[in-house]
Amino acid sequence: MSARTIIHVPRRFVANEWGGTETVVLEISKQQRAAGLNPRIITSMALADRNHDEIGGIPVDRYPHIYPFFGLTDNDRAAMDKKGGNLLSLPLLRALIREPDVRLYHAHALKRLGGSVRTAARWNKKPYVVSLHGGIFDVPAAELSDLTKPIEGKIEWGKPFGALLGARKVLEDADHVICVGDSEAQKAKATLPHDRVSYLPNGVDCQRFNTGDGRRFREHFAIAPDAFLVVNISRIDSQKNQLGLLEAFARFHAVTPGARLVMIGPETQPAYGDKLRAFIAANHLGEAVMIVPGLSNESGLLIDAYHAADVFVLSSRHEPFGIVVLEAWCAGRSVVVSRVGGLQALVRDGETGFFFDPDSPDAADQLAGHLLKLHNDPAMRRSVGEAGRAEALARYDWSRIGAQLETLYQLAEESAARRWHGSQRKEGA
C-alpha cells in the first residue's frame, strides 16, 4: 500500500494569529484530505498554548522550541514568535523522523526548521518540497532589517545545529521549490543550481467568500450603513504599510468626511501599531478609523468585512502574492493595491483593480485619487469587482491549485527516486 501521509511544517500555526501562510497550509491540506491523503501539520509552540489541536479538521501537533541566542529578552522571543524567528526544536525533528507512513514532507519555512525537514527526509529517504511564502530572493532590505532587529548584538550559539541540519542547503537539496510569486520564481531559477523550481500561485475558496453579511459587520462595529467604507486586512506590520494607507486616507477623508477606514489584523509589530494610533490621534481621525486587532479565520465577521467594504486596499511595500486580494474579489469588491512583488502579476490595472506606487513621493496622492475615483463612480466599483470575481473563479480556486500541487509532488518523488539511486520506489502517484 502506498504511503499517504503529507507532513506540512510551517514555523507556527495558531487560529488566533492567522495570515496568508496559515490559509495556504490549511486549504491545501483540505484538498489533500478530500483526495484520500492524510495531511498533518507539525510545527512549533510559537504563540500556542496547546501541544495538540485540530484546525479545519486537520490535526496539528506542536513541539517546544528555543531561539539559540545569548541575551534574548522575553520581548525578543515574543517578537520572533510573531515574525521570522530562526527557531530550533529537537523534539520537532524527532517527531518528523518518527512519523509513520510518510509520502512526502512539505516545508513552509527555511533556516533551522527547514533544515529539520531536510534532515528527516534524508534520514527516511523521502522526498521533500519547500514553499516560499514570504520571499527569500525578493525581499526589500528594510524588511530584512525588521526581521533581524530582535537578535542585533546577540551571540548565536545555535550555528552548529544549523550546520548539522544543513540549514543552508535546504533549497539546494529540495526535491522541488515552490514560489507563490512569479518574480520570486524567476529569481530562484536564476540563483539555485538546479531547475526544480515552479511558480504556483495561492488559491481561494470562492464559495466561502462569495456570501457574507456586510450589514452585520457594520452594525457590529457601529459603522453607518451609508458610510463609504475602505477595508484593509493584513497583519499590523511595517511591511504591510498601513501608515501609507492612513496618509492617503487622511487626504481622502478631507474631501469625503463621511468615509470610514477599518484595518483588520494581528499586530506582529506592536510598536508599529502604536505608530498608527499616534497618527490617527494627531490627524483627528479617531472617529473615522478603526483598528481591529484580528479576527479568527473561522469568524463569520472576517468574511462579512469584505462584503461591508466599498473598496479593499492592500498597501504593502513587499507582497509575494496577496491572498486577501483573491478573497476580496470573491466578495465582488474592487481593489487598490501596491505595484510590488506578486501583486504586479495578480492584478490587471484598470480592469481587475488599480495600482499605486508605495515608494513614490506622491504615493498618498495616488492612493487617495483612486479612492476618490471609486467613491464617485459606483458603476466602476461594481464592474471592477465583478471582473475580479471572474478572475478568481477562473484561475485561483483551491481545487485547481491542489491539482497543480499534486503534479509538483509527483515531480519531487521522481527527483527523490533518482537521488536515492532507485533505493526507494516512487510512492503516492
In a domain, 261, yes or no: yes
Percent of the chain with pLDDT strictly greater than 90: 81
**pLDDT score at 426:** 43
Residues 184 and 216 in one domain: no
Residue 116 pLDDT exceeds 90: yes
Handedness of CA 79, 93, 26, 15 (dihedral sign): negative
- All residues at 6 or more sequence positions from 214 whose CB lies less than 8 Å from its CB, including other chains: 304, 306, 307, 308, 309
Residues 13 and 105 in one domain: yes
As a whole number of angstroms, the distance between CA 36 and CA 62 comes to 24
Residues 118 and 233 in one domain: no
As a whole number of angstroms, the distance between CA 55 and CA 18 comes to 12
Instruction: Give the cell for residue 245.
Output: 494607507
Q: What confidence category does residue 429 fall into, taking pLDDT thresholds of 50, 70 and 90?
A: very low
- All residues at 6 or more sequence positions from 66 whose CB lies less than 8 Å from its CB, including other chains: 87, 88, 89
Residues 52 and 103 in one domain: yes
Span 140-171, pLDDT tens digits: 656 555 656 678 878 999 999 999 999 999 99
DSSP helix/strand/coil, 270? helix
The model carries a pTM of 0.84
Residues 39 and 64 in one domain: yes
Residues 276 and 348 in one domain: yes
